[in-house]
Amino acid sequence: MFTEEKFAKKLKELRCSRGLSSRELGRILGRSSSYVSMIERNNALPTLPVFFKICEYFNVSPLFFYWDDVMISETPKNLLLKIQSLSKNDRLLLHTLINRLM
């Protein structure tokens, strides 16, 4: 179920997962950093055009903001660091598993 609080939290997670500042996201959206901050603090909702721009930029469906169970728990950088710390054998097993899933 959609709530403004969940939207705010998921937007911040998306932004942080890309390593973007609120200023950078504001520039991408054609808005100010304070506008992005207001959304992330649950003080505003984006207009529909901005909402769809957010979805397009982050390559997520608008439904992403409705799903309770879709969360970004790891940034790509953290995930990459964890993979790099695996033993050579474990990386090979992971590679095999990913190939089988695709």
Q: What is the pLDDT of residues 7-26, one digit of tens each?
A: 999 999 999 999 999 999 99
Check whether 69 has a pLDDT greater than 60.
Answer: no
When divided into structural domains, the chain yields a total of 2
Check whether 86 has a pLDDT greater than 80.
Answer: yes
State whether 95 and 83 are in the same domain: yes
Q: Look up the CATH number of the domain holding residue 52.
A: 1.10.260.40
State whether 11 and 57 are in the same domain: yes
Task: Give the range of the structural domain holding residue 76, as residue numbers without chain letter.
Answer: 72-102
Question: What rounded mean pLDDT belongs to the chain?
Answer: 86
Predicted confidence at residue 84, as pLDDT, reads: 80
Predicted confidence at residue 75, as pLDDT, reads: 64
State whether 52 and 22 are in the same domain: yes
Range 3-10, long-range pairs (CB < 8 A, 24+ positions): 4/42, 4/45, 5/42, 6/65, 6/68, 7/39, 7/42, 7/45, 7/65, 8/39, 8/40, 8/41, 8/42, 10/64, 10/65, 10/70, 10/71, 10/72
State whether 63 and 13 are in the same domain: yes
Check whether 38 has a pLDDT greater than 80.
Answer: yes
Predicted confidence at residue 29, as pLDDT, reads: 96
